[in-house]
């Protein structure tokens, strides 16, 4: 189903008070009982997050979807590519639902199948692509994951990008990494790959804006995509925080620019950020460079610690925020009435190839 086909859920839902929506969602969740699994990403707003059966980052939720064979309905409170991955990993009789079809991902949209396939063909005129493995960040379409599966590559998440990149370079001479430039660059640096062996493929430019010599020398070719949320964090913000609080520990997500990661004390996936902050001693001070809902949730969970965002502005994932209580209730009401809305399906041919790439990730 296209992201453009979201129907108007009506004033009954849009105008309902928050407490009414919460009460009705709780009732529907109880009615649907063991037929239902609500998965919520960490960036989801609290009013929806509160009803999750399982919460986590992309890797954890992908694993949970794959393990959920007894649940008939999986309602994914995240964005479109996450729901696609859940559909690929679940059994034929299970139904994956995205409460609002407009919940997409700007990073995923920066690397279409047509663009990547065209870049691959262009690279094939210069290098032996049989010795190059594609790696796609989970923030990508099912069709792009299928391309990766067909060419022997793997999906990765922010939790395992370094391991997947290592795996790729053990099996090939080069890795073509997309769509997030910054996760790829930070992972390559962590593995000790020299900067002159990591190049950026710029969309719309011949050879991605590179010389043939640079591409031949490169071990890692990065796509020029990025996360709009994590691009909002800067070295200046970190310097200001350190001036205000010399004891602050700065931890950021690897989707941040390389210079931001270098300026921080540590970096990691959302799950790693949660672990680091939660296991720190009372009275510790933290500045966190990731989406604001997660940062606020950590601050609420650990009031004995000083936890705030790296940025003075609220860095919100606006597309994730489209999954709200009104749309969640609308989807659950329809399920209770025996009607499935907003089902996310991936065609069999695409799913078969994409699952190869996802399975490789889960094995790695």
Same structural domain, 239 and 305: yes
How far is Cα 177 from Cα 185, in angstroms, rounded to an integer? 9
Residues 303-312: tens digit of each pLDDT: 999 999 999 9
Give 73's strand partners.
Answer: 36, 95
pLDDT band of residue 4 (cuts 50, 70, 90) is low
In percent, how much of the chain has pLDDT > 70?
Answer: 99
How many domains is the chain built from? 3
Written as six digits, the tokens of 176 are 């073509």
| Domain-located, residue 358 | no
Residues 144-171: tens digit of each pLDDT: 999 999 999 999 999 999 999 999 999 9
Residue 331: pLDDT over 70:
yes
Q: Look up the domain containing 185 and give its range.
A: 108-227
| Domain-located, residue 362 | no
pLDDT at 23: 98
Q: Which residue do the tokens 């709009």 mark?
A: 228
pLDDT at 149: 98
The DSSP-derived string for 114-129 is HHHHHHHHHHHTTS-G
Same structural domain, 166 and 247: no
Same structural domain, 120 and 222: yes
Q: Which of 175, 202, 227 is the last residue of a domain?
A: 227
Residue 66: pLDDT over 90:
no
Same structural domain, 212 and 234: no
pLDDT at 57: 85
Same structural domain, 146 and 194: yes
Residues 106-140: tens digit of each pLDDT: 999 999 999 999 999 999 999 999 999 999 999 99
How far is Cα 110 from Cα 107, in angstroms, rounded to an integer? 5
pLDDT band of residue 248 (cuts 50, 70, 90) is very high
If you average pLDDT over residues 278-299, what whole number do you get?
97
Q: Which of 204, 227, 250 is the last residue of a domain?
A: 227
If you average pLDDT over residues 214-242, what whole number do you get?
97
How far is Cα 101 from Cα 343, in angstroms, rounded to an integer? 9
Q: What CATH number did the domain enclosing 70 receive?
A: 3.40.50.10800
Residues 265-281: tens digit of each pLDDT: 999 999 999 999 999 99
Same structural domain, 44 and 112: no
Same structural domain, 61 and 127: no
| Domain-located, residue 55 | yes
Same structural domain, 204 and 122: yes
Q: 214, 188, 212, 186: which is closest to 199 by C-alpha?
A: 214
pLDDT band of residue 60 (cuts 50, 70, 90) is confident
Give 177's strand partners.
Answer: 135, 222
The H or E element spanning position 357 is helix 348-363
Q: For the chain, what is the mean pLDDT?
A: 95
pLDDT band of residue 76 (cuts 50, 70, 90) is very high
If you average pLDDT over residues 272-297, what whole number do you get?
97
Residues 253-264: tens digit of each pLDDT: 999 999 999 999
Same structural domain, 144 and 192: yes
Same structural domain, 237 and 284: yes
| Domain-located, residue 363 | no
Same structural domain, 139 and 195: yes
| Domain-located, residue 314 | no
Residue 1: pLDDT over 60:
no
Same structural domain, 281 and 265: yes
- What is the CB-side half-sphere exposure of residue 208 using CA atoms within 13 A? 28
Residue 2: pLDDT over 70:
no
Separation of CA 261 from chain center: 18
Residue 202: pLDDT over 50:
yes
């Amino acid at each position: 189903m296209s992201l453009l086909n979201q129907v108007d859920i009506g004033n009954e839902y849009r105008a309902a008070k928050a407490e009414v929506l919460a009460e009705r969602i709780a009732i529907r969740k109880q009615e649907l009982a063991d037929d239902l699994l609500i998965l919520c990403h960490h960036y989801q707003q609290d009013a929806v997050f509160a009803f999750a059966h399982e919460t986590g980052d992309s890797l954890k939720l992908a694993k949970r979807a794959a393990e959920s064979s007894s649940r008939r309905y999986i309602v994914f409170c995240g964005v479109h590519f996450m729901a696609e991955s859940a559909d690929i990993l679940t059994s034929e009789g299970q139904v994956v639902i995205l409460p609002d079809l407009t919940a997409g991902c700007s990073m995923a949209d920066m690397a279409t199948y047509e663009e990547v396939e065209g870049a691959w063909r262009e690279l094939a005129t210069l290098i032996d692509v049989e010795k190059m493995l594609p790696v796609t960040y989970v923030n990508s379409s099912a069709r792009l994951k299928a391309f990766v599966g067909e060419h022997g590559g793997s999906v990765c998440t922010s939790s395992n990008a370094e391991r997947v990149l290592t795996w790729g370079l053990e099996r090939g001479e080069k890795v073509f990494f997309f769509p997030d430039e910054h996760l790829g660059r930070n992972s390559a640096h962590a593995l000790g790959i020299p900067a002159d062996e990591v190049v950026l493929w710029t969309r719309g430019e011949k050879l991605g804006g590179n010389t043939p010599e640079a591409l031949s020398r490169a071990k890692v070719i990065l796509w020029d995509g990025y996360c709009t949320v994590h691009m909002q964090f800067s070295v200046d913000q970190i310097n200001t925080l350190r001036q205000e609080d010399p004891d602050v520990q700065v931890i950021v997500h690897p989707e941040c620019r390389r210079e931001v990661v270098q300026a921080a004390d540590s970096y990691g996936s959302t799950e790693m950020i949660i672990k680091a902050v939660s296991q720190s001693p009372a009275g510790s001070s933290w500045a966190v460079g990731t989406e604001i809902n997660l940062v606020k949730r950590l601050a609420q969970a650990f009031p004995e610690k000083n936890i705030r965002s790296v940025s003075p502005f609220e860095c919100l994932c606006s597309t994730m925020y489209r999954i709200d209580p009104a749309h969640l209730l609308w989807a659950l009401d329809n399920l209770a009435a025996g009607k499935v809305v907003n089902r996310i399906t991936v065609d069999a041919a695409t799913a078969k190839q994409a699952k190869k790439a996802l399975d490789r990730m889960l094995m790695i």
